[in-house]
Amino acid sequence: MAKICVPICVSKIDEVRDAMDTATAVADIIELRADCFPLTDSSVLMQTISNLSKPWILTLRSPEQDGRSANDFAARRRFWMSSADLPAESLVDLELDMVDEFWRGESAGQLPINWQNVICSHHDFRGVPPDLGQIYESMAATPAGVLKIAVTARDATDCLPAFELLARAEKENRKIIAIAIGQPGLMTRILGPARGSFLTYAPVTEDVGTAPGQITVAELRDMYRINRINPATEIFGILGQPVSHSLSPHIHNAAFAAKGLDAVYLPFEASDACAFIRRMVHPKTRELDWELRGLSITAPHKSIIMQELDWIDPAGLEIGAVNTIVVKGQELHGYNTDAAGFISPLRNALGSARGARCAVVGTGGAARACIWGLKHEAAEVTVVAREAAKAAFLATAFDVRSAKFPLTSFADFDVVINTTPLGTHGDHEDDSIATAEQLRGVRLAYDLVYNPRETKFLRAARTAGCEALSGIEMLLAQAVEQFKLWTGTQPDSDVMRSAAWGRLPD
């Protein structure tokens, strides 16, 4: 069973009790971050937590290890010297300089301490230090019972050193917590306990996390089913940059759970997709021993990733992009399920796309899949883009028409399809490829953006009297095809739909 530690970091000592009550309901262990509020000794804190029913860790970070802390070496030494009344079973988190001070420094022997209950910790919020092995060895040379090493991941491949530390500690029969901080490091928080990590950290709610990349206790237990993950668990995920907004982990993990499969689906954020494939995915070259069985590929990697694959299906080759990878033996096979996922909802809405006049706005991988799918449905296609040269290039490649964005009116089209990020939750949410006036006379507006539920483009379409089709339909349709490729079984599409809609704000 994975041990989940809920950190408590509040600004006032009188807020600790309420925070502990909330954490106690869901935590296996509670970490009390004494560096989060002004405190000269531990006596007040001890009175506050004297009746805590769950195991706990007392932590006092240095400014070097956490920029929020104002506790220099002398202040931290005074704090721990005042902690002589700590219960014998309590865990304490001491950074290496404090461990050295109370083990062999000037304060050696002055603090009654059970070294097996000491977590010797090191945090690097800049990246992965080149001397990580030496840092581990220095910490392992102390009498501390548990080592904790947290580095910062800028890319998914930065998780490899954390997994290497877990493997080394297991061979050396040492207890360790190894974590990569940040969104690209999320996999270490989810997979760590199954690979020997002493515990993993998670807040009760997103707004009270104590480090970048933490996800909530509920997400760890309910979505990722962390207590079921083991070394044989099959691993799938989505590779892109960014991926934190993706609904795919919610959709596929719900589908795996409904089928009772020993599988988990994770977000993998990488800027260098090819390096990720070589170092972490391809069976012939990967540096991590794990049961990775398949990937979803999203922007901006759908085309560049093709050079790393051993086989690509005809649709992927013709489109020039893949969104699905299946590990088959010692090979990687690539597929494009975007085209089928795009066409299925459109066919349901129109009855048939044959002869439909379609404007595809955008020139990226999604646009290529849409054009390919529409061509196979015998629709009439026009590529519309801000850069006329890109539109013309794509039009030539697929033998369709092109036009420069924006158009005065889309009235000459039956269907207008947005494949751009305009309208996406965040910086582009107030943007749209067309106004209601420009859409008058159009039969159907199809937005591949799915968050928010109704984009500015779709609101304009409804005002103009058009039918509106959300990108959630394409997302779900292509996810069903991916699931079948990975598992050979049909997923419960209703479960997938509920998981997707349940995550989107109203």
Cβ contacts of 214 within 8 Å, gap of 6 or more: 189, 201, 202, 203
Which stretches does DSSP call E strand in 155-199?
175-181
**C-beta atoms surrounding 192 within 10 Å:** 27
Residue 285's φ and ψ, nearest 5 degrees, are -130, -10
Confirm whether 302 is a catalytic residue: yes
Helix (H) or strand (E) holding 297: strand 292-297
CB 493 within 8 A of CB 482: no
Give per-residue burial for 201-221: e unless 16+ CB within 10 Å, then b. Answer: bbbbeeebbbbebbbbbebbb
Torsion-angle region of 44 (φ positive above 0: left; ψ -120 to 50: alpha; else: beta): alpha
Q: Single out the catalytic residue among 3, 302, 456, 484.
A: 302
The alpha carbon of residue 367 and the mean position of all alpha carbons in its chain are separated, in whole angstroms, by: 25
The alpha carbon of residue 241 and the mean position of all alpha carbons in its chain are separated, in whole angstroms, by: 10
CB 153 within 8 A of CB 125: no
Cα first-last separation, the chain: 35
Answer whether the bond into residue 300 is a cis peptide, omega within 30°: yes
Q: In what order do the strands lie in the sheet with 292-297?
A: 263-269, 234-240, 292-297, 324-328, 331-335, 311-312
The residue with tokens 């083991």 is: 230
CB 307 within 8 A of CB 335: no
**C-beta atoms surrounding 285 within 10 Å:** 11
Mapping DSSP to helix (H, G, I), strand (E, B) and coil, where does residue 356 land?
A: coil
Which residue, 345, 334, 338, is CA-closest to 362? 338
Give the span between the Cα atoms of 68 and 496, in whole angstroms: 41
Give the span between the Cα atoms of 85 and 263, in whole angstroms: 45
Give the span between the Cα atoms of 420 and 456, in whole angstroms: 13
> 230 exposed, middle or buried (CB, 10 Å; 0-12, 13-18, 19+)?
exposed
**Residue 338 structure tokens:** 């975007």
What letter would DSSP give residue 447? E
Give the span between the Cα atoms of 415 and 3, in whole angstroms: 52
What is the maximum span of the chain, computed from C-alpha positions, in angstroms?
Answer: 85
Which residues are designated catalytic? 302
